[in-house]
Amino acid sequence: HRDPDMLVKTLRRLRRRVDVNTEVGVVRDIRLKELRIYTDYGRCSRPLFIVEKQRLLIKKKDIQALQQRETPEDGGWHDLVSKGFIEYIDTEEE
């Protein structure tokens, strides 16, 4: 690919929007000139809050809406992931 950095950013953006499965790992190894995409289930990953321009994407109103929901089906963790506030990061991506 002619612009591997843009490809990695695009894949991660798609993962944040849940257009690509949230468990997919995207790793760029500059030294080896490789782009690795891990799709196997069961890989170790952890959730991280998304920060852009040194600011959390999730706002107080989002947290308040989460606290005020009447039933567990009214939003929750999956909604925070699908809205792009939280992203699962593969251990290889750290």
Q: Could you give the number of structural domains in the chain?
A: 1
* Domain region containing 82: 4-93
**Which residues are bridge partners to 27 per DSSP?**
36
User: HSE on the CB side for 36, CA within 13 Å?
Assistant: 13
pLDDT tens series, the chain, 94 aa: 899 999 999 999 999 988 999 889 999 999 999 999 999 988 899 999 999 999 999 999 998 888 888 777 777 888 899 899 999 998 988 7
